[in-house]
Structure 1
Amino acid sequence: MNRTRVKICGITRLEDALAAVSSGADALGFVFYAKSPRAIEPEAAAAIIRQLPAFVTTTGLFVNADAAYIDLVIKQTRIDLLQFHGDETPDFCNSFSRPYIKALRMKPGLDLDVESHKYAEGQAILLDAYRPGVPGGTGEVFDWDLIPKIHPSPIILAGGLTCENVAQAVSAVQPFAIDVSGGVEQSKGIKDAVKIDKFINEVTRAN
């Protein structure tokens, strides 16, 4: 199997970003959603991004944001990739000057193939746990058996992943990438460098 990539999401501090990069993270996520405990202002994200080394993908997470705000974030941060966690339509996701990934919450009755085809122009589909009224970051694991073995889009797996279960997740799902936030934190928005290092080592071991 190909190497599973790792994205550390919910970055709010430079030291956490650098710790993730040092441990081998492929991507960093910045949450531009005011209701999230991991939210960050564009200016603060830009200051962190300016100090990152090359070849680390920076991702901006949005939930039903206005197009003007997304354009502002792109301009201020020069973010590489957009991640949509709300009810954004394919046309909306495609209307910006950046590639995107679309998050789908694995709620009962979701037709993953149908939804994935809607967002076929995206770079990948991110699968997260479903909790009513919560667009992501639930810290809950969903049933990985719900994911078809053959899938048209690259899969990014999220939802309740920790150092203790991520190797099992990689082996069971064989996703293109893993997305983690709460599983490598000391507290909401504050990462734990030791947990990040152990998490990425576990993914490497599973690969």
Structure 2
Amino acid sequence: MSRSFYRTRIKFCGMTRAGDVRLAGELGVDAVGFIFARESKRRVAPAEARAMRQAIAPMVDVVALFRDNSKEEVREVLRTVRPTLLQFHGEEDESFCRSFNMPYLKAVAMGGRDDVNARQLQLRYPSAAGFLFDS
């Protein structure tokens, strides 16, 4: 039997209620995500995410999702929420993403006119912990 070093991980994202965060943990998710992108209807304030973080089960990662936020906005979330992983969905470049000294995922839009090339992504974001292909 061949052994794979990869496994499927499940993340519930866009959490806005502590009860949903608690239920996600009971269901066995690997991570919960809080959205800090300005234009999202599921955006939460850092203080709200900090309060909901109390409902997260042990060993469940906390992901902070951003889309073209400023460095100061990201730093505020880092101080307030203490996420274990960052996720960038905008035009952030490699330098910006790695500047927080945290593991991060770079989201890549799918279904557009441009082809997505995995090798080009790795070259463009060499410090990324992984890529999220978003439809």
After TM superposition, is the score higher than 0.5?
A: yes
Question: Take 1:48 and 1:97, find their aligned partners in 2: how far apart are those partners?
Answer: 24
Percent of pairs identical after alignment? 35
Using the TM superposition, give the Cα deviation of residue 15 of structure 1 relative to its aligned residue in structure 2, in angstroms. 0.3
1:95 corresponds to 2:103: no
Tell me the CA shift for residue 7 of structure 1.
0.3
Unaligned runs of 5+ in 2: none
Distance in 1 separating the partners of 2:64 and 2:109:
18
- Is 1:75 equivalent to 2:79 in the alignment? yes
Gaps in structure 1 of 5+ consecutive residues:
130-207
Are the counterparts in 1 of residues 64 and 85 from structure 2 also a CA contact under 8 Å?
yes
Q: CA deviation at 1:8?
A: 0.3
**Counterpart among 17, 20, 25 of residue 21 in structure 1:** 25
Match of 1:110 in 2: 115
Offset of residue 120 of structure 1? 2.4
Q: What is the 5 A alignment of 1:12-161?
A: 12-106=16-110, 107-113=112-118, 114-129=120-135
Contact 2:35 2:64 in 1 (8 A): yes
Q: Deviations over 1:132-187 (max 9, x none)?
A: xxxxxxxxxxxxxxxxxxxxxxxxxxxxxxxxxxxxxxxxxxxxxxxxxxxxxxxx
Question: Which residue identity is paired with 1:60?
Answer: A
| Alignment RMSD | 1.3
Partners of 1:101 and 1:51 lie apart in 2 by 24
Moved beyond 4 Å, runs of 4+: none
TM-score if structure 1 supplies the norm length? 0.59
Give the structure-2-normalised TM-score.
0.89
Deviation readout 1:9-51 (Å, 9 max, x if unpaired):
0000000001111001000000001211111010000011123
Distance 1:123 1:72 in 2: 22
SS in 1 for 2:79: helix
Q: How many Å separate the matches in 2 of 1:35 and 1:41?
A: 13
Superimposed CA distance per residue, residues 67-124 of structure 1 (whole angstroms, 9 cap, x where no aligned partner): 0110011000111111000000001100003210000012222342212321121111
